[in-house]
């Protein structure tokens, strides 16, 4: 069994390894855009309430879907839409593939309709008692 100090040291070492592996820093000033990178518009990112820097460009990011664990690619163009048009948080990132996202949305919609039907029945029952 490891002590808390040993566990924290392991976690810190793992974080450092992850930081070294991610070689592209979207927040660092770059004179020329990388191949496939899309320039960010800082004015469109002002909705984020942060003291940190905004990204100067977007690059394709690989991720694995939270539900099906399939490798996916979040393209720079999709990121630009999410952050600048849909006004998503600048620190958020994709976690589900398109198919799993649609399934999750359908599940939420089904739960919402069941809840609304239950509330309607409850209101109806309360109306009959009065």
Render pLDDT for 17-57 as a digit per residue (tens, 0 to 9).
766 665 555 655 554 556 778 888 888 888 888 778 888 88
Token representation of residue 45: 């990112």
Q: For residues 75 and 91, what is the distance between their CA atoms, to the nearest angstrom?
A: 16
The pLDDT of 114-126, averaged and rounded, is 93
pLDDT value at residue 20: 62
Q: What is the largest CA-CA distance in the chain?
A: 72
Which tops the pLDDT comparison, 79 or 46? 79
pTM assigned to the model: 0.62
Return the ∠ at Cα 79 (arms to 77 and 83), rounded to 5°.
125
């Amino acid at each position: 069994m490891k002590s808390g100090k040993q566990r924290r040291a392991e976690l810190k070492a793992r974080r450092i390894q992850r930081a070294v592996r991610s070689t592209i820093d979207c927040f660092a000033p770059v004179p020329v855009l990388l191949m496939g990178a899309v320039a960010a518009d800082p004015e469109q990112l002002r909705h984020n309430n942060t003291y940190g820097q905004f990204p100067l460009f977007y690059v394709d990011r690989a991720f694995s879907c939270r539900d099906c664990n399939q490798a996916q690619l979040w393209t720079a163009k999709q990121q630009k839409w999410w952050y600048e048009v849909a006004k998503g948080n600048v620190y958020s990132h994709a976690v589900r593939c398109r198919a799993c996202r649609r399934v999750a949305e359908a599940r939420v919609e089904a739960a919402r309709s069941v809840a609304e039907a239950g509330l309607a029945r409850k209101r109806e029952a309360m109306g009959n008692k009065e």
